[in-house]
Every structure is written in C-alpha cells, then in structure tokens.
A and B are shown apart, each in its own frame.
Chain A
C-alpha cells in the first residue's frame, strides 16, 4: 500500500517546494510531515476520522495533507471562498476542521450529526485513506465526491518528468491535487503562488524558472490583456496546460505568442475521476486525445463516456452517479475526428465564469430575496474576458426604483455568494418573465 510520506524519501536532495522565500527539499518536506504528524497527536486528531482541510498550497497545508493521508484519514478539501464550511463539514460528517489559510492554524472540533457514510466506513475498515472533493452540484449545492487514495494514486506511479511546476490550480480542485501528486511522484518542484494576478504569477515564473504552467483559459486570456507577459522573462516555460472551460482559437493563438517555446496542451478531467494523460494535436489545435493505461473513452450520441480505475468511490450525498455499465457519463458534448476529439462543453444552464461554475437557480434564490423583486431569470452571456458573465433579467414591482434596486441586488449577492456568482449585468423587464421570450434567454 502506498504511503504518500514515503514518496519524499526517493529524492531527498531535490527541491520539493518553493513557497514565499523558502526553498524546501524533499528531505525537509519529509521532516515537516513528521512535525505535522506530531502536531496532530498533540491536538488529539486521531486516525480513522474525517478532517475538513481549508487552505491553499503552502509550507503548512502540503505537509499536513501528506501527514493526514499517510495516517489513513479521510480528508475533505474544503473550497476556498465559501462561508458555509460548517455545512460542508456536516455533509461529510467531519470530526475536525483545520484551517491553514490564516497566519495561525485554527483547529475546530466538530460534533457529528450522524454516522460516517458507508463508503467512508468501508475505507476505515480496510485501513485505507481517502479524500473528498466538492464539485458544484445542480442548484449549486456542492456535491461531496469520495476518492480512495491508493486507487487514485495508481496513475502517478509512472510519473517521470520532474519539472518545476506552478500550483496555479487550487488544492481543493481535482486539478490541483493532480498537480501535487504528479510533481511529488516524479521528484519535481512545486512552486506555490500567494496571489494569482497576472503580474504576481509572471514574477514567480521568472524568479523560480517555472517549466510547467497548468492554468485556466481565463488566466491565459488575462495574462494577454494585462500585458505583463511582455515585462518578464517567461522563456523557462516548456509546457502550458489548460482545462476546465472552453478555449477560444483567439486565446490559443495568443498563448503561442506569449510562450513561443512551450508545448501547449489541453487537459480534460472531472472531480469524479481526475485527469487522464492527454495529447493535443498541435499547439494551435483544440483537438485532443485522452490516453493512459487507466482510462478508456467512448462517445455515444456526441456525449463523452469514461471508464477508469481512478474513478471515485461515490458521492457522499444522495446524488445519483451517472454510470452506465461502469462507464461514467461526463455530460460533455464532443466532436470526433478519428482518434481526436474536441470538447464542446455542456448543454445546460450552467454558467462558466473563468472556469468557475454558476448555477442560475442559486443566484436567482438570492435575487428573489431583494425588496421590490417579483421575478428574476439568471443566465450566462459570453464575454471574452472571463468566458461568460452572470446576467440577471429582473421584473420589479411598479413602484420600485431600478437604480437603487440594482445596487441592492448586487449587494445582496455579494454578501451571500462567491464573487464570481454576482450578476455583472442586471436588466429590468417591463413585463412578467413567464412568457416564452424570457425563458428562451435562459435557455440560450
């Protein structure tokens, strides 16, 4: 059985992590893991329990995560930027919440309201570790997805390219976990940013000579818009990977200008099974091929299905997994050309703001609470800066002031929702929204 902490012994002298001004070798990271294990004992955090972990990649969160997984915990990786962590912890019946996102690590012991989910009980019974990723479920309620650690790690056994890699994608996303394990298994170096603005990232690339840049199409777009790529030496970058939202040809053309020496690769993955190895047809192409021993793909009626050994154990709520004979229905529409395919995305109401998913109903629920609002319909509009933006069509009471209500709506949404979910464009309708035309806006 794999022990993540043992990984660190393979390349003791190599550089494992660059964080702030620190350069931490694999053997030093191993010591940090040992310290964290002791710290857990001191804080009476005992094996065979569920821990909610909050925090971005850092010299604290990485060793703590490795220590927890080595000690057979189930770790729920809590999404950053959410206020309702207690709700999420309750969804997975967490015993402890550890927040590493502040200067001082905060530990909060929690009362479970029920037994562990049977899938978690099974993991514990088999003395295995697991982790939980929250994906945006329908209606915006996060879906807890449980993975068996050992099963998930199988595909990294052959990771053999020790690159200096920027951890741009967050630790609570499956793509962030993918970056973490690929780098540690291959003996590469993690470069963890403290902020993710274009200028800060460029400085980090230049300073740490970053070789692999796994980012989102939106970030690449912003990098272009900011002009910061021209102010720094980014020539160390050999591979740019992107995923999580549709890429436009224009954006892809710009990436080639910004990173003339880099191979540009599209990645495809979901929280349910991680991300297979992939190959792009060319630097200027949106066609990809998913490969790897642990993944099989097929396309039925234009929809991509995947079968993989690294598939999740299951959802920890009442969500129904979309499996047919062991094949997972990704819900993503694809175009096929021989062995190549182009990911077209989902045909749904889902709004994708810079890779973050927004469900209209969760925004509507907040807009609905604002004084003067009778009805609202939230929809996405394409926008070259963030891919899509959130828009709301609102029908007000006759005596309501439009300008004032617009402010109230924005404020209510900003108070209760993540920033990317706040409607950017608010329009007012003179008629009720129940007619077909308005419904269509949402469908389109």
Chain B
C-alpha cells in the first residue's frame, strides 16, 4: 500500500513538474523534498499537488479522505516536507477512515 501511495505522489509530482521543470524533481524518490527549505515548490504548486494526490488516492482506495486540513497544518513537522512523510500521513488518514 505504501508503495502504491508513493507511486501516486511521484506521478503527481512528475506531472506538476512538466510545467515547473525543476531539476531536483525529475527523479522522484521517497526522500524527495516537497515543501520547505531550498528545494521544493511554492504554495500554489503545493495546493495543486495535494488536491491531485487526494483525488488519485480516493479513486485508488475507494476512500474519501481530505489531505489538507487543520491536522495537517498543526504538526511542527509538516506532512508535506517530503514524499515519505506525505505517504505516511496519507496512510494514517486512510487508516482512520477504515
């Protein structure tokens, strides 16, 4: 399941990067930084990515989770900091719903 989620996130990043053309996003791995620090994307791209992944995850797992909510914002370690963190956040969300 985690692999599938990482794949969904990676695909969405690659698609997003068709327009951004950031070198560091050409090869997406579990460690790829998404938001924060030197690398990564801006807020509009982040929102777009999160909504896209949300749609794909809900289709794939026949779920209805929201991936941008107060909980996502409240932690001192953002779930959007890298691919693994985002995938783990999504798994928690799916687990809560099941």
Q: How far is the CA of A226 from the CA of B80 in the complex (A)?
A: 8
Q: For residue B36, which residues in chain A have a CB less than 8 angstroms away from its CB?
A: 198-199, 225-228
Q: For residue A424, which residues in chain B have a CB less than 8 angstroms away from its CB?
A: 47-48, 51
In the complex, B27 has a CB within 8 A of chain A: no
Q: For residue A197, which residues in chain B have a CB less than 8 angstroms away from its CB?
A: 42
In the complex, B96 has a CB within 8 A of chain A: no
Shortest distance from the beta carbon of B51 to any chain A beta carbon, whole Å: 5
Q: For residue B19, which residues in chain A have a CB less than 8 angstroms away from its CB?
A: 414
Q: For residue A231, which residues in chain B have a CB less than 8 angstroms away from its CB?
A: 37
Interface-side segment among A19-27, A284-292, A379-387: A379-387
In the complex, A420 has a CB within 8 A of chain B: yes
Q: For residue A158, which residues in chain B have a CB less than 8 angstroms away from its CB?
A: none
Chain A proximity mask over B50-85: 1 for CB below 8 Å, otherwise 0: 110001000000000000111011101110110000
Shortest distance from the beta carbon of B46 to any chain A beta carbon, whole Å: 6
Q: For residue B77, which residues in chain A have a CB less than 8 angstroms away from its CB?
A: 227
A-B contact count (CB 8 A): 64
- Given the known interface contacts A225-B36, A385-B43, A424-B47, the answer about A250 and B74 at a Cβ–Cβ threshold of 8 Å is yes
Quick check: B73 and A250 within 8 Å, CB to CB? yes
In the complex, A354 has a CB within 8 A of chain B: yes
Q: How far is the CA of A353 from the CA of B44 in the complex (A)?
A: 9
Shortest distance from the beta carbon of B31 to any chain A beta carbon, whole Å: 16
Q: How far is the CA of A109 from the CA of B51 in the complex (A)?
A: 44
Q: For residue B50, which residues in chain A have a CB less than 8 angstroms away from its CB?
A: 385
Quick check: A222 and B43 within 8 Å, CB to CB? yes
Q: How far is the CA of A199 from the CA of B37 in the complex (A)?
A: 5
Shortest distance from the beta carbon of A443 to any chain B beta carbon, whole Å: 22
Quick check: A384 and B69 within 8 Å, CB to CB? yes
Which A residues form the contact surface with B (CB < 8 A)?
Answer: 197-199, 218, 221-222, 224-228, 230-231, 250-251, 254, 353-354, 383-386, 389, 414, 419-420, 424-425
Which 5 pairs of residues, A with B, have the shortest CB-CB distance? A226-B36, A225-B78, A384-B73, A227-B36, A385-B47
